[in-house]
């Protein structure tokens, strides 16, 4: 057996041993960012009505695309498509996602 063949065999053996180790071992001590225990959270649709999606007029294109995708996904999953408002200040009690660069967000934060 040549030196190159031995190296390949050892590489394959090392890879095979790594596949035998459970992936959960690498996550020990790190906080979970996905919770599947069914705790009460944000309700996007309640009482047959979807919460509106609000974006600023100065949002980045990626934020607008994410808002459109979220609107479409909520509609597909629940059958209730949320309204999408751009640049409108709805009032206290409604949160706005996206970047923290809009005047609308500053006005909302000033109320709290």
Mean residue pLDDT across the chain: 76
Output 67 or 24, whichever has higher pLDDT. Answer: 67
Least confident of 15-19, 57-61, 88-92: 88-92
Least confident of 31-35, 61-65, 96-100, 107-111: 96-100
Helical segments of the chain, H only: 3-20, 61-78, 103-111
pLDDT at 92 over 50: no
Instruction: Assess if residue 56 is contained within a domain.
Output: yes
Nearest by Cα to 56 from 92, 85, 95: 85
pLDDT at 112: 45
Whole-angstrom distance, CA of residue 30 vs CA of residue 73: 30
Strands 49-50 and 45-46: antiparallel
Whole-angstrom distance, CA of residue 50 vs CA of residue 73: 12
pLDDT in tens, 6-15: 999 998 888 8
Give the mean model confidence (pLDDT) for residues 101-108.
60
Residue-range definition of the domain harbouring residue 46:
35-111
Q: How far is CA 109 from CA 52, 54, 57, 92, in A?
A: 18, 15, 17, 9
Dmax (CA) for the chain in angstroms is 76
Number of folded domains that form the chain = 1
Instruction: Assess if residue 25 is contained within a domain.
Output: no
Instruction: Assess if residue 45 is contained within a domain.
Output: yes
């Amino acid at each position: 057996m040549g030196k190159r063949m031995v190296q390949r065999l050892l590489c394959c053996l090392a890879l095979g041993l790594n596949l035998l180790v459970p992936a959960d071992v690498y996550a020990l001590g790190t906080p979970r960012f996905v919770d599947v225990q069914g705790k009460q959270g944000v309700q996007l649709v309640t009482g047959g009505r979807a919460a509106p999606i609000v974006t600023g007029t100065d949002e980045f294109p990626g934020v607008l695309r994410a808002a459109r995708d979220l609107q479409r996904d909520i509609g597909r999953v629940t059958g209730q498509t949320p309204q999408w408002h751009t640049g409108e200040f709805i009032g206290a009690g409604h949160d706005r996602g996206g970047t923290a660069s809009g005047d609308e967000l500053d006005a909302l934060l000033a109320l709290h």
